Amino acid sequence: MDSIVRAVVVYLFLLMIFRLSGKRTLADVTTFDLVLTLIISESIQQALIGTDNSLVNGLLVVMTLVSLDILISVLKRRFPRLDKTLEGMPLTVYHDGRRLEQGLRRERVTEEDILAAARELQGLDRLEDIRKAVIERTGRITIVPAKRAQ
Amino acid sequence: MNDSAQRESSLRVADFQRREWTVQRYAWLVMWAILGAGIAGLFGRGPLARARIETSGWRVEYERFARNNTQTSLAITLPTAQSGDTATLWVDRVYAEAMDIRRVTPEPLTVSVRPDRLVYRFLTGGAGSVRLVFDLEPQEIGRMNGLLGSSGSGTVTFSQLIYP
């Protein structure tokens, strides 16, 4: 029983901490983000498993995490407000040559991040070629090219 | 591919998808049932796992379901003679070896080894009963039969299922 309770607590804690840390955390994995992911998984592993190294415990923990994920996805579909609370909303940070400063600042996104997404996704390398840049709910930046750049 | 072949192929895909969804939904139900059983303690560490035997002055508390390589405890309340100041408890050797006794609280005065049992002697200070806690770490999987005894107080048997 305690391993299931631990898994639920860890799942909800991680859900909350990543939601509160903003959209961009771990969205585009840099070398440091990868290291951070490894450190987080290493630190949480002890809390999940404790001293119980049995196979049954491992299977129960995995089953709990997967079941919670299924349950929350079902609930998110049924209750749009919960979906919005847990996943947030897409946020436009650049539109028709205008930088939306508050969004950029609050989500800690730089012009360089937008240009990197533009190069990666659309092969564009100038801000003028971008009509719209959006930070999606997943934290990834997507780009809508300006008409002349298409 | 002509029209009818294409239609047949997309029907096959739709049929496969429907079956996949059905299997998934049943799998979720099974998963949730297993978790419910886990919370109840069917896989150890929960209300269903706790067991107690009370017989002729003995009280033995143990886990009916325990897990391999994971600590479990065996608490024994043993009736003791008012006259003496020591109590003796023996544990079946096969059980003791399979369960790997890590710690005994309170610490015994002596432990002696017999071919079929380990004999523990404790200082009781003349109390009517003594509570002993054995910390165990099962080393084998499957059904384990515990057998305990004490000179003058008979024996107690119990059974545990050790999950991998």
Question: Is the pLDDT assigned to residue A149 strictly greater than 60?
Answer: no
Q: Stretch A106-115: mean pLDDT, rounded?
A: 89
Chain B residue numbers with beta carbons less than 8 Å from the beta carbon of A4 are 35, 38-39
For residue B130, the model assigns a pLDDT of: 87
Please report, rounded to a whole number, the percentage of residues in chain A having pLDDT higher than 90: 47
For residue A148, the model assigns a pLDDT of: 64
Lowest mean pLDDT among A13-22, A126-135, A141-150, B53-62: A141-150
**The model's pTM:** 0.80
Cβ-based neighbours of B70, under 8 Å, separated by 6 or more: A51, A52, A53, A54, A57, B44, B137, B138
Give the pLDDT confidence of A71-90 residue by residue, as tens digits: 999 999 999 999 999 988 99
For residue A20, the model assigns a pLDDT of: 87
The answer to whether A133 contacts chain B (CB < 8 Å) is no
ipTM, 2 dp: 0.81
For residue B82, the model assigns a pLDDT of: 59
For residue A150, the model assigns a pLDDT of: 54
Of A4, A52, A70, the CB nearest to B39: A4
Provide the pLDDT confidence category of residue A25 given band limits of 50, 70 and 90: low
**Nearest Cα residue in chain A from B29:** A67
Of A52, A63, A66, the CB nearest to B67: A52
Q: Residues in chain B with pLDDT < 50?
A: none
- Whether A66 sits inside 8 A of B31 (CB atoms) is yes
- Whether A63 sits inside 8 A of B31 (CB atoms) is yes
Question: Is the pLDDT assigned to residue A27 strictly greater than 70?
Answer: no
Chain B residue numbers with beta carbons less than 8 Å from the beta carbon of A60 are 34-35, 38, 43
Residue A47 is encoded by which pair of tokens?
């809390």
Provide the residue ranges of all domains of chain B, joining segments of one domain with +: 1-40, 50-163
Of A57, A63, A66, the CB nearest to B67: A57
Average pLDDT, chain A: 88
Give the pLDDT confidence of A62-72 residue by residue, as tens digits: 999 999 999 99
Shortest CA gap B34–chain A (Å): 8
Among A125, A101, A129, which Cα is nearest to A112's? A125
How many interface pairs between A and B have CB atoms less than 8 angstroms apart?
A: 52
The domain B50-163: what is its CATH number? 2.60.40.10
**Nearest Cα residue in chain A from B24:** A70
For residues B159 and B95, give the distance between their C-alpha atoms in angstroms, rounded to a whole number. 10
Q: How far is CA A54 from CA A45, B71, B137, in A?
A: 14, 10, 11
For residue A3, the model assigns a pLDDT of: 87
DSSP sequence for B105-147: ESPPSEEEE-SSEEEEEEE-TT-SEEEEEEEE---S-EEEEEE
